[in-house]
Structures are given as structure tokens and as C-alpha cells.
């Protein structure tokens, strides 16, 4: 099943460029919490937020693990989607920080950045971080932030796109403005 | 950050907006939901109108981000429109078994709760206005369907309603809906066969949602997240009328909770005392006041306005302010079929059944049935929870999605003086005002009717060949988020808060536009009736002001 630019554009159209983001941060601020999270977490200072290139490589590598095996065109899809999401927003900052942290842990536990790991090791790394069992939370623990900004960022883009939806049997998934006709049609 | 500041957004930004009172106002409207917005739009242009709303003006550019919140599991429903926190604190009376989740049931801000609503808009039935006489249950309204009929037609044009005239049980109407109804869904066609077999009529249902471009807003594009947010604007919300009122010259002051209405010795309201984000308090004076703060905050504001002259609260000589709190009760059932049902493409339903509505009597409440288009999990939401990804996730989603069906129903509850909103004794909001306390109770007529609705639902589902997996009966019912009854309408000043014109008995220049004036609730979603009453209030206020000049 081929993901296309149209899917990336659709995912973006569904979620908006700066995402839950600005809003996520705003709500946190409203509640008097530290909106940006504690950037990096361990205070060692060597986890500067990831640059565009690293975010793209890392998310594409994680997508290879969290997307179904026969999804193709993943790199273009992730690229196209990130074109809209990596703006100057608080959400983009959250993504950069979570990616930096995920890579830092990968280097320390597995000797290489996420994108350089073997897919099976990458999968294991995500689980060791705890992103599989964590509930997403933009202001939470490392596991919760990796789940929010990395794993669910990718899953949201995928399953809100027509191609991702169609794999499940819904070509007009929630979040995708796929018109007011598909609900009337019977199964093909 | 711009106009979309959250309720506690930066004070610096808030300071940039002029929130001082408007001089020489004719009308002050409290609340910018559909009720207040329609009244304001009706009067703006001819009159100097000010609208005060407790919540913010939301930035339309944020709607996709709000949609993302609606889908992502880390946000609760109230988070989508920034509801909650000290501003919106409330409590349930400890004794009641009926807890009311108030902050799931409202939005504060320009547009009010219609930002979150589903947008189903039916007229009440003729007997709903005469429940006492026709059904032997509850009081009659002091007005009839005929009084509201032209206003219903106008409200349908104002909101933009897509509907058809195929419902044999609907009350009489002389003109078609402004837009054609949405076509039935695939699952409706499955239900249709089963309903026919068991003798149940299905028909279309009116939606305040564009089936074609209308009033400068686009046709529905199928985002499927109508409740709690429509990014396209195809679903009506009250920002439409707030903006129109502003274009005609009205002034909207957001983030301006009214804390008290002041009055003079002649039983007139003189000012709405409101707070602003900079901590200041202002007085908006006007000739006429329309309270349109929703079915909970409206009685709360009247109670907060107690004075030496009115120690029990303003407009409360009858003692009815806050009493008779009603909502519609949900009854439902659902299950799975062995074929695809194509759910969750859109977030609204397209077929209903009003066949049993007018069977109502002393023991059976009116109720209506709904055939859902959003049964079972939405795959994208489901994908974000669970500890699987890759192929196992896809397999799970495929297993969960695809063959669910469900039916809903709304059931009337009778007014009960003990079901009520009061002020909490010892808890206050962010401004130091006592928060609302909800003591909601539901009687046996409604509970028995929920069972009756369940029986029909299960019969239809079984005829359809469904494996019935859940039934929401009397033990699992909940409110539909329609706040009614708390400032009831009556010709008798001892029995009601407002008269047949929705003007308070006690104060000559104060009207209430809200479902809080409903003496009984029927089982139809309330907002079309709220809109019709609001337009009528607009006319009455205009007439009253005209008589004075
Ligand atoms: C999830 C959900 C789904 C719904 N679906 C439907 C549906 O399908 N069909 C239907 O008919 N109805 C539905 N409703 C109900 C519908 O939203 C309400 O009936 C309608 O919005 C009520 O309009 P209103 O103007 O009276 O009050 P609201 O829309 O609640 O607006 C009241 C406004 O007053 C403001 N306010 C409150 N207190 C003060 C104060 N002290 N000072 C200043 N301003 C104040 C608030 O900030 C708010 O903006 C739904 C509601 C919810 C929550
Ligand atoms: S389905 Fe239609 S009305 Fe609902 S959110 Fe989408 S565009 Fe808006």
C-alpha cells in the first residue's frame, strides 16, 4: 500500500501545521504548569533539541517500525507531513526535544542513533524507553513524551490519512475532510 | 498568541483589548451562546447592544488544533474548548446518586456551547406545550406551538437547517427546511429493512449543518469530529450571529463574567457588574437586560444578585430560580453485525424515529429514537492507545472497526422542585463567587421509559441480526447536556420566574433567553426552541424599547 504526497497533505490538512501544539502548550500554561516540559529531562545539557534533519531521519526510522510492514512511500509521507509540523511552534519544539532524548538514550543503550539501529533493535529501544505502554502526555515522563511527540505523532498522521484509514476499512477517517458522501456508500 | 487566548491567557495581551463599558447602551446581553447571539443580532443596528461573555473569543485558526485535541487521548473533552479550572468549578450535592458532569456539558466563550454541540435541531411537538392537559404530567406552557411556529421557521433559516418533510410524526410546518436533508447513511439502509420488518418508521432528521453551501459557510466536508469541533464551519455555531451582530454595530466584550445584576428601587435592573482579566470590575448600564448565560449559570447569576430587597435572589419571588433542573436522558443499545456498517465517516446521524413520541402519558415519557452513524471505535483514536504498533496494531484496528451498529434515544424527565441548582456554601470560583451546586434527580417515569426505549432498540437490533453487546438502560443512563427548567415560564408570578414573553415577573426590564425557561422539556434537543424563543425575546425587547421612546 503506497502512501502518497496526497496522504501527507491530507494528514496535514487534518491536523494543521502547528498542531495541538500551540494549544497543548497554552493549556499547560493556563494551568500554571511549565509548558515546554523540562527539555531533555536529565539536566546534563547534552541533549539540545534535534535539528530538522535529525527529526526527519528519526521519525522516518520510527515510522518503519510503527507503520504496517507493507506501507511504502513512508519517507516521502513523513517528510511531507513534517514540512508542515516543524514550524516554530511549541509542538515542534516538543518533537525536537523528544527526538533528541530518544537518540541520546539509543546511543547510550545501543551505541547508535535511532536511525542507525537495526529495525528490530529500534523496536526494542522504543519499548525499553516505555513508549509502548505509556499513555501519551506532552508534559509527562520521557516515555509519555516519546509516545506523544514521536509514536502517536506518526500514528495520528497515518491513520487520519485516506490510505492509512483505508487499510482499516475507512477511506474517510476522523480528522480527514473526505467529503459527505462516503458515509452513504456500501462496502466495495 | 492572538484572539484565541485561553481563559487564563497572558494579562499583557488581555490588556490590549478595551473591555470598558459602552456608554448609552440600550440593551445588555449576558452570554454569547446561540440565545444571546440571536437576541443581539435581532436588536443590533437599531439599538446600541452590548454582549458580555464570561469566556474568550476563540481564534478560528485554532480549530484544527482543537480537533487534534478531540482525537488525541491525552486531552479530555472539556480541554478541547478550555473548559475547567477555577473559573468553571462546580460541585454535585453529596446526597444525590445522579452526578452531573457539568464541564462536559457546556463551553464558555463567544459561540457558547454550540462550539461543542452536535447540531441536531428538532421542533418540540404540539403536546409538549400542553403536557399537563394532554399527558397528565407536568405543567402546561403559557404559550402554544402556534405561538412559536413562525419563530421556529425563522430559527431554521437563521441556523441553517438541513431537513426534509418525510417525518409523519413531526408537528405541522408550512415551508420546507432551508436546505435538503442529508441522505441516509449506509447503516441507515441496513436498519431500514429491520425497522420495516418490526413495523417501525424511519425518517430523516434535521441537522443545523450545511448539506450545501449556506449563508457564506461551506457544505459539510466530512471531518467527522462534529462533536466537539467542526473545523470547516459547516456545523452551525453561534459565532455566526455574534459576528453578524458585531457587523451591525453591537459590542462584544469577552472574558467578562457578569458577577451580579444591580437594580434600583423601581424593580429595574440598572447594571451588569462584570470582571475583566486585569482584575478590574466594571458596570455596564443599559435600558434592557437579557440574561442568556445557559441553564446553569443563568439561575446562578440571579442567585448571586441577591440584595436587601431580594434576599433570595433576583427575580425569585416565586422561589423557582434554580429549581426544576431537567435534562434529557440517554437510552441506547448496540452491537455488531457480520457485515461492514461503515461507521465514523461523519459525526452526525441521518435517521430517526419519532413514532412513539406522542404515545406519552402520565406513566410514559415522550422519547425519540436515533440511528447512529458513529457506532464503535474510531480507528484513528484507537490507534493512539494500546501497547501495539506495526502489523499487530493494524490487525487490532481491523478487528475492532467495521461492523458496529448502535441506536440511541432521548427521554423526557419531568420537572421536580428538588432537582435544582443552588449556590455552594463554602466554595468559590476564581473571582470569589460561590460556585453552582447541582442536585439532579430523575423520576420513575423517565426511568421506566428508558426501559421501553431499550426494548424497542433491542428488538430492532435483533431483527437486524446484530449481536447485542451493550444496553444503556436506567442504570447506565446519563444526561444529554441540555440544561432546562431552572427559571421556568408561567403566567402565574407565584409559580414561575418569567412570563409568557420570557420577561421576569419581578423586574420590568429583564428577559431570560434560555432553555431555563422551559416548564417541561419534551424529548427533542432544545436549541431550535431556544433559538425560536430568543428571536421572540428580541421582538419583545424591541417593542418594549419602542414603547418607551
Ligand atoms: C456535547 C454537547 C452536545 C450537544 N448537542 C446538541 C444537539 O445536538 N442539539 C441541541 O439542540 N443541543 C445540543 N446541545 C446543547 C446546546 O449546546 C445548548 O442547548 C445551547 O448551546 C444553549 O444555548 P445558550 O445560548 O442558552 O447557552 P450556551 O450556549 O451555554 O451559552 C451561554 C454563554 O453564556 C456565557 N456565560 C455564562 N455565565 C456568564 C456570566 N455570568 N457572565 C457572562 N457570560 C456568561 C458562557 O460563557 C456561554 O458562552 C449540546 C451540548 C453539548 C455540550
Ligand atoms: S462531519 Fe461535517 S459538520 Fe461534522 S465536523 Fe465534519 S465538516 Fe463539520
Does the structure show a pLDDT above 90 at B8? no
Question: Residue A20 and residue B7: Cβ atoms within 8 Å?
Answer: no
Query: What is the per-residue pLDDT for A87?
Result: 82
Mean pLDDT of chain B: 95
Query: What is the per-residue pLDDT for B64?
Result: 92
Query: What is the per-residue pLDDT for A46?
Result: 53
pLDDT (mean) for B227-242: 96
Return the H-helix or E-strand segment holding B411: strand B404-411
Specify the higher pLDDT residue, A33 or B101. B101
**What is the DSSP secondary-structure string of B474-520?**
TTT--B-S--B-TT-B-SSTTT-SB-TTSBBSS-TTEEE-SGGG-SS
Answer yes or no: do B309 and B345 share one domain. no
Task: Kindly state whether residue B435 falls inside one of the protein's structural domains.
Answer: yes
Answer yes or no: do B248 and B349 share one domain. no
Answer yes or no: do B155 and B243 share one domain. yes
How many residues in chain A? 188
pLDDT (mean) for A68-75: 94
Give B347 to chain A, closest Cα distance, Å.
8
Radius of gyration, CA atoms only, chain B: 23
Q: Could you report the per-residue pLDDT of B54-98, keeping only the tens digit for each?
A: 999 999 999 999 999 999 999 999 999 999 999 999 999 977 779
Radius of gyration, CA atoms only, chain A: 17
CB pairs under 8 A between A and B: 184
Which member of B211, B346, B390 has the closest CB to residue A183? B346
Pocket of ligand 2 (CB under 6 A): B 209, 220-226, 230, 232, 234-235, 346-348
What cell does B5 get? 487566548
Q: How many separate domains does chain B show?
A: 2
Task: Kindly state whether residue B392 falls inside one of the protein's structural domains.
Answer: yes
> Is residue B407 a contact partner of residue B369, using CB atoms and an 8 Å limit?
yes
> Is residue A53 a contact partner of residue A61, using CB atoms and an 8 Å limit?
no
CA–centroid distance, B220 to ligand 2, in Å, is 5
Please, what is the Cα angle at B109 between B104 and B113, to 5 degrees? 40
* pLDDT band at residue A47 under the 50/70/90 scheme: low
Out of B425, B451, B476, pick the residue that ends a domain.
Answer: B476
Task: Kindly state whether residue B494 falls inside one of the protein's structural domains.
Answer: yes
Answer yes or no: do B272 and B341 share one domain. no
Question: Residue B64 and residue A14: Cβ atoms within 8 Å?
Answer: yes
Does the structure show a pLDDT above 80 at A6? no
Give A27 to chain B, closest Cα distance, Å.
7
Query: What is the per-residue pLDDT for A5?
Result: 72
Specify the higher pLDDT residue, B16 or A94. A94
Question: Residue B68 and residue A15: Cβ atoms within 8 Å?
Answer: yes
> Is residue B201 a contact partner of residue B192, using CB atoms and an 8 Å limit?
no
Answer yes or no: do B464 and B317 share one domain. no
Task: Kindly state whether residue B34 falls inside one of the protein's structural domains.
Answer: yes
Answer yes or no: do B170 and B67 share one domain. no
Answer yes or no: do B64 and B197 share one domain. no
- Exposure string of B404-441, with b = 16+ CB inside 10 Å and e = fewer, is bbbbbbbbbbbbbeebbbbbbeeeebeeebbbbbbbbe
Confirm or reject: Cβ of B257 under 6 Å from ligand 1: yes
Query: What is the per-residue pLDDT for A16?
Result: 64
Answer yes or no: do B156 and B172 share one domain. no
Distance CA B370, CA B346 (A): 15
Burial group, residue B219, by CB count within 10 angstroms (0-12, 13-18, 19+) = middle
Which member of B1, B72, B339 has the closest CB to residue A20? B72
Answer yes or no: do B6 and B143 share one domain. yes
Question: In which order are the strands placed within the sheet that holds B510-512?
Answer: B251-253, B49-52, B27-30, B288-291, B510-512
Does the structure show a pLDDT above 60 at A68? yes
* pLDDT band at residue B1 under the 50/70/90 scheme: very low
Residue B400 carries which DSSP code? H
Does the structure show a pLDDT above 60 at A8? yes
- Exposure string of B45-84, with b = 16+ CB inside 10 Å and e = fewer, is eebbbbbbbbbbbbeeebbbbbbbbbbbebbebbbbbbbb
Query: What is the per-residue pLDDT for A126?
Result: 98
Q: Could you report the per-residue pLDDT of B109-130, keeping only the tens digit for each?
A: 999 999 999 999 999 999 999 9
3-class DSSP assignment, residue A71: coil
Question: Residue B185 and residue A184: Cβ atoms within 8 Å?
Answer: yes
Does the structure show a pLDDT above 90 at A41? no
Out of B457, B476, B495, pick the residue that ends a domain.
Answer: B476
What cell does B9 get? 491567557
Does the structure show a pLDDT above 80 at A114? yes
Residue B129 carries which DSSP code? G
Instruction: Determine the structural domain holding residue B542 and report its residue range.
Output: 1-161+229-324+416-442+483-549
> Is residue B44 a contact partner of residue B301, using CB atoms and an 8 Å limit?
no
Query: What is the per-residue pLDDT for B5?
Result: 27
Which member of B68, B393, B397 has the closest CB to residue A19? B68
Q: Could you report the per-residue pLDDT of B166-195, keeping only the tens digit for each?
A: 999 999 998 999 999 999 999 999 999 999
Q: Could you report the per-residue pLDDT of B299-325, keeping only the tens digit for each?
A: 999 999 999 999 999 999 999 999 999
Answer yes or no: do B315 and B257 share one domain. yes
Residue B377 carries which DSSP code? -
Query: What is the per-residue pLDDT for A1?
Result: 73
Does the structure show a pLDDT above 90 at B7? no
Give the residue on A whose Cα is nearest the Cα of B229: A175
Question: ipTM score of the complex?
Answer: 0.91
Task: Kindly state whether residue B215 falls inside one of the protein's structural domains.
Answer: no
Task: Kindly state whether residue B220 falls inside one of the protein's structural domains.
Answer: no
Q: Could you report the per-residue pLDDT of B191-210, keeping only the tens digit for each?
A: 999 999 999 999 999 999 99
Task: Kindly state whether residue B222 falls inside one of the protein's structural domains.
Answer: no
CATH number where B398 lies: 3.30.410
Question: Residue A180 and residue B221: Cβ atoms within 8 Å?
Answer: yes
Give A71 to chain B, closest Cα distance, Å.
10
CATH number where B512 lies: 3.50.50.60
> What percent of chain B is modeled with pLDDT above 70?
97
Distance CA A145, CA B169 (A): 53
**What is the DSSP secondary-structure string of B303-368?**
HHT--SS-TT-TT-TTS-TT-S-B-PEEEEEEEE-SS----SSSSS--EEE-TTGGG--SSS--EE
3-class DSSP assignment, residue B107: coil
Which member of B185, B189, B389 has the closest CB to residue A65? B389
Task: Kindly state whether residue B210 falls inside one of the protein's structural domains.
Answer: no
Answer yes or no: do B71 and B96 share one domain. yes
Answer yes or no: do B393 and B488 share one domain. no
What cell does B513 get? 433567553
Q: Which of residues 180-209 of B touch A (CB under 8 A)?
A: 182-186, 189
Question: Is B221 an interface residue toward A (CB < 8 Å)?
Answer: yes
Amino acid at each position: 500500500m503506497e502512501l502518497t504526497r496526497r496522504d501527507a497533505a491530507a494528514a496535514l490538512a487534518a491536523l494543521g501545521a502547528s498542531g495541538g501544539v500551540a494549544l497543548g502548550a497554552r493549556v499547560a500554561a493556563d494551568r500554571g504548569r511549565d509548558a515546554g516540559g523540562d527539555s531533555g529531562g536529565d539536566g546534563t545539557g547534552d541533549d539540545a533539541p534535534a535539528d530538522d534533519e535529525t527529526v526527519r531521519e528519526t521519525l522516518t526510522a520510527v515510522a518503519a517500525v510503527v507503520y504496517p510492514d507493507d506501507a511504502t512511500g513512508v519517507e516521502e509521507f513523513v517528510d511531507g507531513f513534517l514540512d508542515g509540523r516543524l514550524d516554530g511552534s511549541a509542538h515542534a519544539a516538543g518533537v525536537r526535544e523528544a527526538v533528541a532524548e530518544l537518540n541520546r538514550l539509543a546511543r547510550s543503550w545501543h551505541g547508535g542513533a535511532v536511525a542507525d539501529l537495526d529495525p528490530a533493535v529500534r523496536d526494542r529501544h522504543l519499548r525499553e524507553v516505555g513508549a509502548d505502554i505509556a499513555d501519551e502526555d506532552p508534559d509527562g515522563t520521557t516515555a509519555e513524551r516519546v509516545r506523544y511527540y514521536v509514536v502517536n505523532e506518526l500514528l495520528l498522521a497515518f491513520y487520519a490519512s485516506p490510505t492509512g484509514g483505508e487499510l482499516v476499512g475507512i477511506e474517510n477517517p476522523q480528522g480527514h475532510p473526505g467529503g459527505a458522501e462516503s458515509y452513504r456508500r456500501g462496502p466495495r | 498568541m492572538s484572539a484565541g487566548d485561553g481563559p487564563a491567557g497572558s494579562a499583557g495581551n488581555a490588556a490590549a483589548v478595551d473591555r470598558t463599558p459602552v456608554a448609552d447602551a440600550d440593551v445588555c446581553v449576558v452570554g454569547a451562546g446561540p440565545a444571546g447571539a440571536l437576541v443581539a443580532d435581532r436588536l443590533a443596528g437599531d439599538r446600541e447592544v452590548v454582549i458580555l461573555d464570561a469566556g474568550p473569543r476563540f481564534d478560528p485558526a485554532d480549530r484544527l488544533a482543537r480537533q487534534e485535541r478531540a482525537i488525541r487521548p491525552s486531552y479530555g473533552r472539556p480541554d478541547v474548548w478550555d473548559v475547567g479550572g477555577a473559573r468553571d468549578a462546580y460541585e454535585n450535592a453529596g446526597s444525590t446518586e445522579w452526578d452531573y458532569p457539568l464541564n462536559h456539558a457546556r463551553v464558555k466563550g463567544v459561540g457558547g456551547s454550540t462550539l461543542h454541540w452536535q447540531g441536531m435541531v428538532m421542533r418540540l411537538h404540539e403536546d409538549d406545550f400542553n403536557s399537563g392537559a394532554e399527558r397528565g404530567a407536568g405543567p402546561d406552557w403559557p404559550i402554544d406551538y402556534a405561538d412559536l411556529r413562525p419563530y421556529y421557521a425563522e430559527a431554521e433559516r437563521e441556523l441553517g437547517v438541513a431537513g426534509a418533510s418525510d417525518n409523519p410524526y413531526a408537528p405541522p410546518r408550512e415551508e420546507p427546511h432551508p436546505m435538503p436533508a442529508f441522505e441516509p447513511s449506509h447503516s441507515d439502509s441496513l436498519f431500514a429493512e429491520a425497522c420495516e420488518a418490526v413495523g417501525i418508521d424511519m425518517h430523516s432528521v434535521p441537522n443545523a449543518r450545511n448539506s450545501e453551501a449556506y449563508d457564506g459557510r461551506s457544505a459539510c466536508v466530512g471531518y467527522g469530529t462534529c462533536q466537539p469541533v467542526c473545523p470547516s464551519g459547516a456545523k452551525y455555531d453561534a459565532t455566526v450571529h455574534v459576528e453578524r451582530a458585531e457587523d451591525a454595530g453591537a459590542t462584544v466584550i469577552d472574558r467578562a463574567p457578569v458577577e451580579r445584576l444591580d437594580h434600583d428601587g423601581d424593580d429595574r435592573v440598572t447594571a451588569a457588574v462584570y470582571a475583566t482579566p486585569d482584575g478590574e470590575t466594571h458596570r455596564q448600564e443599559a435600558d434592557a437586560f437579557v440574561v442568556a448565560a445557559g441553564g446553569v449559570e443563568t439561575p446562578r447569576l440571579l442567585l448571586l444578585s441577591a440584595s436587601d430587597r431580594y434576599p433570595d435572589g433576583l427575580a425569585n419571588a416565586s422561589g423557582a430560580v434554580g429549581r426544576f433542573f431537567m435534562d434529557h436522558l440517554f437510552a441506547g443499545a448496540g452491537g455488531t453485525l457480520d457485515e461492514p456498517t461503515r461507521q465514523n465517516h461523519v459525526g452526525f446521524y441521518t435517521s430517526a424515529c419519532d413514532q412513539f413520541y406522542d404515545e406519552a402519558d402520565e406513566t410514559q415519557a415522550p422519547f425519540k429514537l436515533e440511528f447512529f452513524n458513529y457506532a464503535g471505535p474510531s480507528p484513528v483514536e484507537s490507534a493512539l492507545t494500546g501497547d501495539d504498533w506495526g502489523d499487530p496494531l493494524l490487525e487490532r484496528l481491523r478487528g475492532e472497526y467495521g461492523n458496529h451498529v448502535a441506536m440511541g434515544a432521548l427521554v423526557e424527565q419531568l420537572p421536580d422542585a428538588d432537582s435544582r441548582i443552588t449556590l455552594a456554601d463554602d466554595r468559590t470560583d476564581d473571582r470569589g463567587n460561590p460556585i453552582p451546586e447541582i442536585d439532579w434527580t430523575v423520576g420513575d417515569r423517565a426511568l421506566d421509559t428508558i426501559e421501553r426505549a431499550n426494548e424497542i432498540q433491542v428488538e430492532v437490533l435483533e431483527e437486524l441480526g446484530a449481536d447485542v453487546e451493550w444496553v444503556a438502560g436506567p442504570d447506565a443512563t446519563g444526561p444529554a447536556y441540555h440544561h432546562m427548567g431552572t427559571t421556568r415560564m408561567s403566567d402565574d408570578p407565584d409559580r414561575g420566574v418569567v412570563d409568557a414573553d420570557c420577561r421576569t415577573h419581578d423586574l420590568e426590564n429583564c428577559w431570560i433567553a434560555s432553555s431555563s425557561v422551559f416548564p417541561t422539556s419534551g424529548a427533542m434537543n432544545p436549541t431550535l426552541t431556544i433559538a425560536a424563543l430568543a428571536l421572540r425575546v428580541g421582538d419583545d425587547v424591541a417593542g418594549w424599547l419602542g414603547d418607551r421612546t
